[in-house]
Chain A
Amino acid sequence: MSRKRAGLVAFCVLLLFFGVVGRLYFVQVLQYRKFTGLKEKQYIQTVEIKPKRGTIFDCQGRELALSIDVDSVCAFPRQIENIPETAAKLARVLDLDQEVVKEKLKSEKYFVWIARKIETEQARAIKSYNLKGVDFVKESKRCYPDEHLANQLLGFVGIDNDGLTGIEKFYDGYIKGESSFIIQGKDAKGRSVLNDTETCYTSNNSNDLILTIDKTIQYIAERELDAAWAQYSGRNAIIIVEKTKTGEILALAGRPTFSYQKVKESSIDEMRLRAITDFYEPGSTFKIVTAAAALEERVTKPEDRYFCENGSYKVGPTFIRDHEKEGWLTFAQVIERSSNIGTAKVADKIGREKLYYYSKMFGFGSMTGIGLPGETQGLLRKPKDWSSISLGRISFGQEIGVTPLQILNAVNAVANGGVLMQPMIVKAIRNKNGAIIKEYNPQIVRKVISPETAKTLTEILKGVVDRGTGSMAQVKGYDIAGKTGTAQKIDPSIRKYSSSKYVASFVGYLPADDPEVTILVIIDEPKEIYWGGSVCAPVFANVARDIMRYLNIPAKAPLLASTKKI
């Protein structure tokens, strides 16, 4: 044996030892952070537990929107034994494409969704197969118990329960709540390691919303709107009901609307809350503002007489026309019969600055701040931008853009003795323990006209319904103050007012002397008839009648006497 050679072999072995130790030091000590990071990446999994969305109640505590727990099917592809069979069974029960399911099950991923928020019977069927690697996750699904009630107002949520439109969107921060997270270790097959679990709960932090909406009144409004829509169709239609003395919105409905069953197929047009997102030229309903300004500024009295030029009146280069040829009329009659010429003559006495000032005071040209997504401020130009004919035109509701809510709220101020209220849709926000965390109280925006002016104007507006253009709005037993509107629409092709396209509207309040509700009905481009007094006033009457009955508002004494006789 050669000792030299043995020594050489021993030396080689010694080198190998040094190599191994050096390498271990490098991997274990110097690269410690790198490999720890890699380990955590594959070992730690975070499971998000979505919060349960808060409930939306009406003003009487009835549910308008709520969340329920439903099953979602998921799969752990690595644990599945027979992919074709599993895919076939899942596809059959869930009515899915078998190939699509198969692709999902073949995925390299640890977790895949098969179908979210499925029906109870489907879940039961899948559970009965006892498929390996297929599991269920409880998810909360948004439900709207009355499927066709206040859809646009409530809005809807996406698959991950984010509010996408309407109240669901605007108050998402309150009602959505925060996710909880489970941070846990998992083995290489994705099974969680139970003794290595940490849960970060953010419990019970979704809130309930209590709206000012009254489900019954909303139902009345929707029913009448549907009837009118069926009769007149048109481009769109709106009904808003406001509680006169508080500014609370009791009902808000629009057509066309979407169905919760077919949200995906609905157009943006069907989702928009036109009552606040769109503005239009109001036409004659705006004469209430002009009249309020004239009376408050004492430029006219109801009995002052104006010559209405037999229906055609040249102002500057253009003519103002009335729908009926009128001669001499009192101011009250001008409003009752809705004479544009008479109104324009009164406006001349008010002057630009004052008319602008009152428009502004009544809330035009600024957002109401009701608290709904997408509100617009409308269009109210400053007097210096007005042309020579603007004053007259604005006085009867042209050359000005208002939202339906703005006009309703302005009229509501007249109904409320001259006090403009803050329109509101949410009464309170309540946490899961039932404690009110935010309360909205009725808020006065400003006093616009004196109570006396308001009373005088109300008398005039009663005349509109008693013997003027709004006579179809009458409800037996109740005095109603209101105003019709039949606004010509600008035809974009000729850049002039169209002679065939109108926005018909009626706004009014009752009982006139101590109003409970102010109601606005708008039908945009009704078919065949277009007069606000013919189209919208009857709808108003139907809504008003049922609301009075529902709210138990006593009818006038004479009628009571007559019924007692029977």
Chain B
Amino acid sequence: MKQLHQFHHPDLHMFVVTVALVILGLVMIYSSSAIFATQQYNNSWYFFQKQMLWALVGFVVFFMLIKTDYHVLQRYSRVLIITSVILLVLVLTGIFGREIGGAKRWISLGPLRFQPSELAKISLLIYIADYLDRKQSKMSKMIKGVAPILMVIGLICGLILIEPDMGTSVSLGVVCLGMLFVGGLSTWYLVSLIAMVIPVFGYLVVSKPYRMRRLMAFFDPWADPQNVGYQIIQSLIALGSGGFLGMGLGNSKQKLLYLPAAHTDFIFPIIGEELGFIGALSVVVLFFIFAWRGMKISFHAPDLFGSMLAGGITLMIVLQAIINIGVSCALFPTKGLPLPLVSYGGSNLAFTLASIGILLNISRQTVK
């Protein structure tokens, strides 16, 4: 089946966009966290330095994966998915886990912390691409085609969901469904699947008061501006007061502890405040270029595995970006999702860079 292609240059647009977003992220992390970091750690560069370290690690992996033929991943897809499940279970047991803010999402290895869900995300995308590649003809059959892969998706998403990390779980689920849809899942199955999933999520939202409050705050943040609505309102104030041209780099007021998580999940409003609509639009445009190039790579991948994997990775990253930006301007309810490549968060940055590395390797083998 597999045949070796002529390797050519990776997609330059995507490469530039990726590097640009990481640099913008580093600058904005420093700008938004310097005051907080000074107060907390007496070192205004604290978060910048940590992110810088992870970026270096991430770029090493990034370049290694650009060089590595992505077909190798297909061989390890089962190993990866099993490792992910083990780690996700481990993190839940709490043996290596670090509980932060009531959520068990992290595993600590010495000074480093990483989220197993990051590994699980890319592993699942690889596994689905591989599965679709192998069972291409059986996707219209329930038992032999659709059911097994749905169970794997359900397992992974379920494990992430009970960490709890609903944002990651839902976005990953949507991406997986998108891949199955493109990969040939019959519309009937898809519709019935969605019909089954919606009540489950409805229950999940109602069952946790904080999710309910977040949802209510989304509909009317001003009803309770001191508590749940606070973050949304502060986010809107940051964006709105930025105006067309922004207040200038470093001049945000909202980062003076008004906007919680200003360097992590809510870094985008600070960009909007300091760099204005122009700056915010630039970020959106960068992700748009990313989506366009990713789609192009997917369309011209040499085989179905590459095509599905490229599409999955692209959709994953772009969807997270849109959700993050949408949350910051109150288009969607609050989800704990970072802005890929930009937000502070080491393991997310490293795994995102790794995923793009894979994507760029696929781009080296495109045919046309």
Name A's B-contacting residues (CB within 8 A): 1-3, 5-6, 9-10, 13, 16-17, 19-21, 23-25, 27-29, 31-32, 34-36, 38-39, 42-43, 108, 185-189, 193
Contacts and interface: CB of A to CB of B under 8 A. Distances in A.
18 contacts: A9-B178, A9-B181, A9-B182, A20-B325, A21-B284, A23-B330, A27-B239, A27-B240, A28-B244, A28-B272, A32-B240, A35-B236, A35-B237, A38-B241, A39-B237, A39-B240, A108-B226, A193-B256
A32 B284 contact: no
Given A1-B183, A20-B326, A28-B243, 4 more contacts: A1-B304, A6-B295, A24-B277, A43-B253
Contacts of A189: 257
Contacts of B254: 39
Contact of B243 (A9, A36, A188): A36
B157 to A, nearest CB: 19
A234 B25 CA distance: 86
Interface of B: 35, 178, 181-184, 226, 233, 236-237, 239-244, 253-254, 256-258, 272, 276-277, 280-281, 284, 287-288, 291, 295, 298-299, 304, 307-308, 311, 315, 318-319, 322, 325-326, 329-331
A20 B322 contact: yes
Contacts of A34: 240
Given A5-B181, A29-B277, A35-B241, A23 B326 contact: yes
Contact of B242 (A19, A28, A42, A193): A28
Given A17-B284, A187-B257, A35 B240 contact: yes
B298 A29 contact: no
Contacts of B182: 1-2, 5-6, 9
Nearest to A34: B240
A28 B326 contact: no
Contacts of B308: 1
Contacts of A10: 291, 295
A24 B239 contact: yes
Contact of A17 (B233, B291, B299, B311): B291
B291 A23 contact: no
Nearest to B304: A1
Contacts of A185: 253, 256
B322 A16 contact: yes
**Closest 8 interchain pairs by CB?**
A35-B240, A187-B256, A188-B257, A28-B277, A188-B258, A32-B243, A39-B241, A36-B241
B322 to A, nearest CB: 5
Given A9-B182, A24-B277, A187-B257, A17 B240 contact: no
Given A6-B298, A189-B257, A20 B239 contact: no
A28 B240 CA distance: 4
A388 to B, nearest CB: 80
A186 B298 CA distance: 50
A16 B319 CA distance: 9
Contact of A38 (B237, B281, B311, B329): B237
Contacts of A43: 253, 256, 258
A13 B318 contact: yes
A108 B226 CA distance: 10
B15 to A, nearest CB: 21
Nearest to B36: A187
A100 B112 CA distance: 49
Contacts of B304: 1
Nearest to A28: B277
B311 A6 contact: yes
Contacts of B233: 38
Nearest to A9: B178
Contacts of B315: 9, 13
Given A20-B325, A39-B237, A29 B244 contact: yes
B277 A25 contact: yes
Residue picked from A3, A17, A36, A43, most chain B C-beta under 10 Å = A17
A189 B257 CA distance: 7
Contact of B331 (A2, A20, A193): A20
Contacts of A187: 35, 256-258
Contacts of B258: 42-43, 187-188
A29 B243 contact: yes
B313 to A, nearest CB: 14
B253 A1 contact: no
Contacts of A28: 239-240, 242-244, 272, 276-277, 280
Contacts of A6: 182, 295, 298-299, 311
Contacts of B226: 108
A104 to B, nearest CB: 19
A1 B295 contact: no
A9 B308 CA distance: 13
A36 B35 CA distance: 22
Contact of B244 (A2, A32, A39, A188): A32
A193 B253 CA distance: 10
Nearest to B321: A20
A54 B295 CA distance: 78
A34 to B, nearest CB: 7
A483 B258 CA distance: 78
Contacts of A5: 181-182
Contacts of B298: 6
A382 B66 CA distance: 113
B240 A31 contact: yes
B329 A23 contact: yes
Nearest to B260: A188
A36 B240 contact: yes
Contacts of A2: 182-184
Given A1-B183, A13-B291, A24 B240 contact: no
Nearest to B251: A196
A31 B243 CA distance: 8
Contacts of A3: 299
B329 A17 contact: no
A23 to B, nearest CB: 5
B364 to A, nearest CB: 20
Contacts of B276: 28
Contacts of B281: 21, 24
A98 to B, nearest CB: 27
A510 B243 CA distance: 82
Nearest to A187: B256
A562 B254 CA distance: 92
Contact of B239 (A13, A35, A42, A108): A35
Nearest to B268: A24
Contact of A20 (B35, B257, B284, B299): B284
Contacts of B240: 27-28, 31-32, 34-36, 38-39
A133 B295 CA distance: 56
A2 B257 CA distance: 48
A485 B205 CA distance: 93
A384 B287 CA distance: 99
Nearest to B326: A20
A24 B237 contact: no
Nearest to A19: B331
A188 B329 contact: no
B257 to A, nearest CB: 4
A25 B277 CA distance: 7
Contact of B288 (A17, A32, A35, A36): A17
A186 B257 CA distance: 10
A231 B244 CA distance: 83
Contacts of A36: 240-241, 243
B272 A24 contact: yes
A192 to B, nearest CB: 11
A16 B322 CA distance: 7
B335 to A, nearest CB: 14
A75 B156 CA distance: 51
Residue picked from A19, A20, A25, A34, most chain B C-beta under 10 Å = A20
Contacts of B325: 20, 24
A16 B291 CA distance: 12
A28 B247 CA distance: 12
Contacts of A188: 256-258
Nearest to B136: A1
